[in-house]
Amino acid sequence: MFKKYKNQDLDMAFWWKKNPKTPSDYARLILEQLNKFSSPSLTQDSKRKVQEECTKYLIGTKHFIVGDTEPHPTPEAIDELYTAMHRADIFYELLLHFVDLEFEARRECMLIFSICLGYSKDNKFVTVDYLVSQPKTISLMLRTAEVALQQKGCQDIFLTVGNMIIECIKYEQLCRIILKDPQLWKFFDFAKLSNFEISTESLQILSAAFTAHPKLVSKEFFSNENNIIRFIKCINKLMAHGSYVTKRQSTKLLASLIVIRSNNALMNIYINSPENLKLIMTLMTDKSKNLQLEAFNVFKVMVANPRKSKPVFDILVKNRDKLLTYFKAFGLESQDSTFLDEREFIIQEIDSLPRIISSTIEITTSNASSNNSTSMNSPSSAVNNPTSLLTHSTTPDSR
């Protein structure tokens, strides 16, 4: 049923008779071994022995809770094990010593945790309810991800903890705890790290946290304006300075959030900022067509907004002709009827904007010549020049 590790080549029936006598013994024996990591007399040899014992007991625990032992455990015996694990705060203790465990033990811990989260009795998720009553375990899990980055072989530890966090996010009660924990903001920083696996895992955690339960997020996170402002600042940094994958995934996350009706507060603040518009227009000229498309999904909301702020309106007016030229070549190869309809709608909206006065055109042309700017006479130049969609004119415009 499960992959075997190096310490798993043992007769489970014999091991069961020799060691744990009752289901609660599993929790007790694991806890005893974990406490040995804190012993001042612990040597490297004795530490390896403790690690092996922890791995052995965790493997045994996993087999027991899935009924993969002889004799098969009764439902009452499994209930007893869950009760013992919760009473001993076994997951909290495992996280305290997570970096001390072997790779196999950490993987077993992750599997056990996932199984326990899904265990229900009387239509209640037993372990989920326990974690809600003991939020310190979730907080420690989030901090353990940061601690992992300071360790040798940090990637494996971080990814394992990350998977546990994502499992928690699936349950609304636990996601609420995560959204309220200040440590969540650290994952925006982790997403900017050069390590691809860690960066990607961090983005997956953020995406899951903000999309798994839309009503929860809008009601208890984006209802706070300080959270909105901080979120925008963090997501913009990823979109502006991250790797290609980071830029694309963070832009995709933003686009998915602002179209949710209940996130109206987030949408209004974001789409009425001229700085945000400039960032999105810059991303629309990225060499990656996929990133251009993700940026377009944000841009279309800004253009379709019937109550644009004056700074946003002015930028669109100043860049009206450039935008029309750009969209003539944008996404022509697409067969997606929805996208094509949206593109046509945006073109019509931009075309309906006021034309800039001739004096503005002259100043803009003059500035472009003096700065040796790339001409916007062809659609390809808009794509190749990261700032070519933005005209910075000092001539005032009238709406």
pLDDT at 84 over 50: yes
User: Within 10 A of 119 (CB to CB), how many other CB atoms are there?
Assistant: 15
User: Who contacts 216 (Cβ-Cβ below 8 Å, separation ≥6)?
Assistant: 172, 175, 176, 179
Task: List, for residues 274-322, the tens digit of each pLDDT value.
Answer: 999 999 999 999 999 999 999 999 999 999 999 999 999 999 999 999 9
Spatial neighbors of 79 by CB under 8 A, at least 6 apart, are 121
Mean pLDDT of 56-78: 90
Question: Could you identify the residue written with the tokens 């953020």?
Answer: 206
C-alpha span between 122 and 341 (Å, rounded):
50
pLDDT given at position 244: 95
pLDDT at 19: 60
- pLDDT band for position 367 (50/70/90)? very low
pLDDT digits (tens, 9 = 90+) for 200-224: 999 999 999 999 999 999 999 999 9
Q: How confident is the model at residue 17 (pLDDT cuts 50, 70, 90)?
A: very low
User: What does the CA dihedral 192, 180, 262, 224 come to, rounded to 10 degrees?
Assistant: -90
pLDDT of the residue at 388: 58
In this structure, the strands spanning 120-121 and 124-125 are: antiparallel
User: Measured in whole angstroms, how far is the alpha carbon of residue 190 from the centre of its chain?
Assistant: 10
Q: What is the C-alpha to C-alpha distance for residues 375 and 365, in angstroms, rounded to an integer?
A: 9
Q: What is the pLDDT of residue 69?
A: 78
Q: Chain-wide mean pLDDT for the chain?
A: 87
The band of 20, judged by pLDDT with boundaries at 50, 70 and 90, is: low
Query: What confidence score (pLDDT) does residue 373 get?
Result: 36
pLDDT digits (tens, 9 = 90+) for 323-332: 999 999 999 8
CB 328 within 8 A of CB 379: yes
Range 386-391 average pLDDT: 54
